[in-house]
Amino acid sequence: MTKKLQEEAFFSRRRTVEVKAGNVCIGGNNPVRVQTMVTSPTSDIEATVNECIKVARAGAELVRITAPTVRDAEALGAIRSELRKRGYGIPLIADIHFNPDVAEIAAKNVEKIRINPGNFTDRQAMLQTGVPDIEQNRESDLLKLRTRFTSLLNICREYRTALRIGSNHGSLSQRIMSKYGDTPAGMVESAMEFLRICREEHFDNVIVSMKASNTVVMVQAYRLLVAAMDAEDMHYPLHLGVTEAGDGEDGRIKSAVGIGSLLADGLGDTIRVSLTEAPENEIPVARELVRHFSALPTVFRRENETADYPCIETAKTSLPGKEVLVISDLSGLNPVYASDIESLGFGTETDSASENPVPDCIYTGSSTLAFDSGNPKIIDDSKDNFILCSHLSLDDSFLRWLKENPEKILAVSFDGAGSIARQRSVFLKLRDSGVVNPVIIVRSYREKDFEKLQIMAACDFGALLIDGFGDGIMLSAECDIPPKSISDLCFRILQAARRRYTRTEYIACPGCGRTLFDLQETLKKVKAATSELKNLKIGVMGCIVNGPGEMADADYGYVGAGPGKITLYKGREAVKKNIPQENAIDELIKLIKEN
């Protein structure tokens, strides 16, 4: 596999057909396109137009608008007309759930339409908890799907409307769930059913997505999709996104880990960063992701390279605990004293439920690590168990020496390593050589803008961590960013890659015209009330469409059920229905305490 990765290093991106949405071309030889979604009620034409203009000025190349009703679908025509009148040609995308009739109206009024194959034909089937006579109804369901979908394709062909088939984790049809469960394989098959109809109907103006709030599920689903499409000679462009990523640092880091891991594979033709913030805030993050990978050589995995790499087992006897470690690089402070650690904000004690966990170890620049879980300190270790080297140093003689000394901790610097594929190849080389030494991933950055640093580091570390590579990470920045902030960034990257949990995770939708309450303000309140918790996932969702399904990973959910009404979930079960919004956060805390 290593040899193939090296041979394929000149492929910049997976080759796809070109899809046209209005005046924007996606896939083929075109750059990765950036898009977002507005949050105004679609029936409020003036507000939606103004929001579309704002995101277009911020750099969005396409904009999505929800269309839950016939009235909304018809309003899309007026919105497009007004935008064109004001000199804005940005293509509009209609977001459709549940209603094929609405989809057919919207397809006449926009440049692109997005449907969810899991709920395109039957809302009730998606919301059912039981699966009665699913095998008996399978053929009739497929026939119904084909009839309704073919009708939509004919309209899209007539009006030259592009189509996105967007599978979402947690909103698969009962027919798919009965066979595959709520899995990446089920997400792929859900989309493939629709793609096969597209090919049979000779409709190629299609884009595909596999979104999830769980980055591992998301990456697995896209890689399996590419393998499935290649097996059937399909070459449709991909829309990338981590759905319900949340807000602030975590939303940006989570998006960068998921989207970046796929861009590193050479996959992705258009991206959307889903933040629970104003839509224009998504654009700089997305553009930074595109910029970061446009500067790097990437590699497209062939069919037998699309599955996740297994987590590489290493001898962890030299490391404290079994979790991926965070090592703080204080080599710039020489000498380092115990008092420095406290003054840098790490403290000398830590609460296991602390929102800002302290690093596990401290590197001082003299081959010295401090091991003392929860209470980092400097120790004098003359055994030189910590070997810091460049990825270029791993020649055959060094590999033989490592095999003879498995207790040594290998810290590999990947600065200047180029593509993520080449970095992965280092781990594969270690594995294939029988090296079991624990490996610390080391990277240094000169970026002074902390938000850009977060995105770059999340991409570079995340793309390795999500594939099971690395026993620890060490990040240093050649700027004035405090060590405490760097350490906190490392813990957030580990959580986003699903390798270590140190804080509550919030699965929050970005909002749209269907949202039934102030998402941004509500998320802040929920965070304030629950941030001291650990190893919990809490979903905050604007409406029933994104509620019980798309927060599939959440332990507890806060979902808009109607104007001023909230339904609380424990897992997939609605346990407190139609609570007045002013009481809902208190009831959520009570529910968590009860369980």
Do residue 421 and residue 525 come from a single domain?
no
State pTM to two decimals: 0.87
Give tens-digit pLDDT for 81-113.
999 999 999 999 999 977 889 999 999 999 999
DSSP alpha helix (H) spans, 118-214 = 123-127, 134-159, 174-180, 184-200
**Domain presence at residue 437:** yes
Q: What is the three-class DSSP state of 75? A: helix
**Domain presence at residue 282:** no
**Chain Cα centroid distance, residue 116:** 18
Do residue 83 and residue 218 come from a single domain?
yes
**Chain Cα centroid distance, residue 245:** 7
**Domain presence at residue 105:** yes
For residue 279, the number of C-alpha atoms closer than 13 Å in the C-beta half-sphere is 28
Closest to 356 (Cα-Cα) out of 554, 534, 592, 589: 534
**Domain presence at residue 464:** yes
Q: Could you tell me the two tokens for 290?
A: 């595109």
332 vs 111, higher pLDDT: 111
Do residue 536 and residue 447 come from a single domain?
no
Q: Which of 467, 496, 525 delimits the end of a domain?
A: 496
Q: What is the three-class DSSP state of 218? A: helix
**Domain presence at residue 271:** no
Do residue 443 and residue 515 come from a single domain?
no
Percent of the residues in the chain that have a pLDDT greater than 70, as a whole number: 79
pLDDT band at 547 (very low <50, low <70, confident <90, very high): low
**Domain presence at residue 415:** yes
CA distances from 529 to 11, 569, 591 (A): 48, 17, 13
Give tens-digit pLDDT for 37-74.
998 999 999 999 999 999 999 999 999 999 989 999 99
Rounded average pLDDT over 534-557:
72
Q: Which of 206, 239, 272 delimits the end of a domain?
A: 239
**Domain presence at residue 220:** yes
Do residue 126 and residue 25 come from a single domain?
yes
Do residue 491 and residue 514 come from a single domain?
no
Q: Which domain holds residue 474?
A: 325-496
Residues with Cβ within 8 Å of 565's Cβ and at least 6 positions away in sequence, in order, are 516, 578, 579, 580, 581
Between CA 203 and CA 97 the distance in angstroms is: 21
Local structure of residue 297 (DSSP, 8 states): -
The total number of structural domains in the chain stands at 3
Q: Which of 496, 517, 547 delimits the end of a domain?
A: 496
81 vs 15, higher pLDDT: 81
Judge whether 202 and 153 are in contact, CB under 8 Å: no
Rounded average pLDDT over 513-528:
74
Closest to 236 (Cα-Cα) out of 217, 209, 215: 209
pLDDT for position 52: 97
Q: Could you tell me the two tokens for 451?
A: 């938000």
How deeply is 143 buried, as exposed, middle or buried, from its count of CB atoms within 10 A (0-12, 13-18, 19+)?
Answer: exposed
Integer-rounded Cα radius of gyration of the chain:
25
Between CA 252 and CA 180 the distance in angstroms is: 31
In this structure, what CATH number is given to the domain that contains residue 585?
3.30.413.10
Of the given ranges (112-121, 153-162, 329-338), which has the lowest mean pLDDT? 329-338
